[in-house]
């Protein structure tokens, strides 16, 4: 996103996107988050080029080798190796690909389902509204991680099922948010005008009203990225998400647990990767919230 050249005519108001970018770029935390996200995304996309080794490549001569800058470290392995001689840096880089994919898939699916449910509840009201929102209440009655675990328990452990579980768990947030935004938009004149002009319900829902409900959804989606990465890592850590030898950050941590006393680096770096990525999305989400809608500011 870059700011186009400003309009020479001073009186004309700047394009809304320019204005949002100006507010956003003033927030140093948000810019830091954005920079981190760019770096992580770059590393994830070009993992094959950036990573020194493959994620499952084993070096039989270097089990639990400490990071290269420490005494006894092997210069080949910057962040050291794990218990079966795999380069931790390479596994973290491939793990970034996995975590960002998890975030993207979960947020996309949750947006699609949640927004549709919220739109239906807001538009049709009555029984549809009650049914949808009660269902969401029921799902919110359980802690998110517990509900995700129960869903994985039913579907069976694995990365795909973990993603499904995390998606189901976050849908109520998007549905509630959309319904709230729709209800506040429905009474506006432009909706009535569109209706009078003969717009059908689908057009009203997705083309007329939805674009005006986007601000809170964009913020929620950005913050949802971090939530999804965190929850999927937690499931991986509990052995219910990605299975070994997949280089998923959470399951890397779980495998490293038994070496915590002998080799701190196998435990430290995967967690740091999770923290930095999650932090980046949270910082950017906060910045977006402030830029998109000052009223939303917590």
Q: Name the residue nearer to another protein (CB basis): 130 or 207.
A: 130
DSSP string, 83-128: TTSBBHHHHHHHHHHHHHHHHHHHHHHHHHHHHHHHHHHHHH-HHH
Q: Name the residue nearer to another protein (CB basis): 36 or 113.
A: 36
Q: Name the residue nearer to another protein (CB basis): 118 or 287.
A: 287
Q: Name the residue nearer to another protein (CB basis): 14 or 180.
A: 180
Q: Footprint of another protein on this chain (CB under 8 A)?
A: 29, 134-135, 137-138, 141-143, 145-146, 149-150, 152-156, 226, 230, 233-234, 237-240, 250, 253, 257, 260-261, 264, 267-268, 270-272, 274-275, 278-279, 282-283, 286, 297-298
Q: Name the residue nearer to another protein (CB basis): 149 or 213.
A: 149
Q: How far is the CB of 294 from another protein (least distance, A)?
A: 12
CA distance 47 to 49: 5
- Bridge partner list, 86: 58
CA distance 142 to 159: 22
Q: How far is the CB of 185 from another protein (least distance, A)?
A: 24
Q: Name the residue nearer to another protein (CB basis): 87 or 231.
A: 231
Cα-based distances in Å from 183 to 21, 197, 198, 211, 243 = 28, 20, 20, 14, 43
Q: How far is the CB of 79 from another protein (least distance, A)?
A: 15
Q: How far is the CB of 132 from another protein (least distance, A)?
A: 12
Q: How far is the CB of 287 from another protein (least distance, A)?
A: 11
User: Which tokens go with 118?
Assistant: 């919220």
Is residue 119 within 8 A of residue 210, CB to CB? The reply is yes
Q: Is 58 helix (H, G, I), strand (E, B) or coil?
A: strand
CA distance 257 to 240: 16
Q: Name the residue nearer to another protein (CB basis): 135 or 199.
A: 135
CA distance 196 to 80: 67
Greatest pairwise CA separation for the chain in angstroms: 77
Alpha helices in 214-263 (DSSP H): 214-237, 249-256
Q: How far is the CB of 124 from another protein (least distance, A)?
A: 19
Q: Name the residue nearer to another protein (CB basis): 81 or 251.
A: 251
Q: How far is the CB of 186 from another protein (least distance, A)?
A: 22
Is residue 93 within 8 A of residue 248, CB to CB? The reply is no
Q: Is 16 helix (H, G, I), strand (E, B) or coil?
A: helix
Q: How far is the CB of 148 from another protein (least distance, A)?
A: 10
Is residue 96 within 8 A of residue 245, CB to CB? The reply is no
Is residue 224 within 8 A of residue 173, CB to CB? The reply is yes
């Amino acid at each position: 996103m870059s700011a186009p050249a400003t309009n020479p005519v001073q009186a004309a108001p700047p394009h809304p996107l320019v204005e949002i970018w100006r507010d956003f770029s003033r927030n140093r935390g948000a810019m830091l988050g954005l920079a981190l996200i760019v770096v992580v995304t770059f590393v994830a996309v070009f993992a094959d080029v950036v990573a020194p080794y493959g994620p499952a490549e084993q070096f039989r001569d270097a089990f639990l080798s400490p990071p290269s800058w420490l005494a006894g470290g092997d210069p080949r392995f910057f962040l050291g190796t794990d218990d079966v001689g795999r380069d931790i840096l390479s596994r973290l880089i491939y793990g970034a690909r996995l975590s960002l994919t998890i975030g993207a898939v979960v947020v996309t699916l949750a947006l699609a389902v949640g927004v549709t449910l919220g739109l239906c509840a807001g538009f049709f009201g009555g029984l549809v509204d009650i049914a949808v929102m009660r269902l969401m209440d029921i799902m919110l009655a359980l802690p998110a991680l517990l509900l995700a675990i129960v869903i994985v328990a039913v579907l069976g452990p694995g990365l795909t099922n973990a993603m499904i579980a995390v998606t189901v768990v976050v849908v109520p947030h998007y549905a509630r948010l959309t319904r709230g935004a729709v209800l506040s938009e429905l009474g506006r004149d432009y909706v009535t005008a569109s209706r009078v002009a003969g717009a059908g319900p689908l057009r009203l829902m997705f083309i007329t009203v939805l674009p005006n409900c986007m601000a809170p959804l964009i913020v929620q989606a950005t913050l949802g990225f971090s939530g999804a990465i965190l929850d999927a890592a937690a499931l991986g850590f509990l052995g219910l998400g990605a299975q070994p030898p997949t280089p998923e950050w959470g399951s890397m941590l779980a495998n490293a647990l038994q070496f915590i006393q002998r080799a701190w680096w196998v435990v430290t770096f995967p967690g740091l990767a999770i923290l930095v990525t999650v932090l980046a999305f949270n910082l950017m989400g906060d910045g977006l919230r402030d830029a998109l809608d000052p009223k939303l500011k917590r």
